[in-house]
Amino acid sequence: REFIMVQTFLINLLILASAIYLAGKVFLLFKVKDFYTALGAAFFLAVSNAIIRPVLLVLTFPITLLTLGIFILFLNGFMLLMVSKLFKDFEINGCLNATIAYIIISLISWVLNLIIFWKIWRVFKIEENFRSLFDILVIGIVRLWNKK
């Protein structure tokens, strides 16, 4: 089970890195030099979203409530802006650009997740009832592992 969790994390990390790289090359809101920079940024973004973001969500709950949740978009952009400060080859100018970039990265990541999980579902012909795309990924990885 832990092996599947690590594999899932690595797949999601590669998807996020691909989304950051594609968004950086297609849209002019931020610059990313190469895929390795995007991979490092994706790793630090995942870690900061797991550790720092929950604390910030609790601290900014009143303003999030007043803005009916829209402030979370700016909080996500702020997280991306913080990560960009760690890399000299990953540049974002301003919090508004970071917020728009985060929305674009999220959309690209969502599309890539759909494509990859759909491929796994189709390749392994998963007929079981599943609740989420994560279930499809886990079933696909288990079937791939059992074939070896």
Could you tell me the pLDDT band of residue 1, with boundaries at 50, 70 and 90? low
Handedness of CA 17, 29, 103, 99 (dihedral sign): positive
Tell me the C-alpha to C-alpha distance, in Å, between residue 88 and each of 34, 95, 100: 12, 17, 20
Token code pair at residue 72: 């979370």
The least confident of 31-35, 92-96, 119-123, 127-131 is 127-131
| Size of the chain, expressed as the number of residues it contains | 148
pLDDT per position as a tens digit, 80-114: 999 999 999 999 988 999 999 999 999 999 988 88
How far is the C-alpha of 77 from the C-alpha of 95, rounded, in Å?
6
Quick one: pLDDT at residue 134? 62
- CA-based angle 90:12:142, to the nearest 5? 160
Is the pTM above the cut of 0.85? no
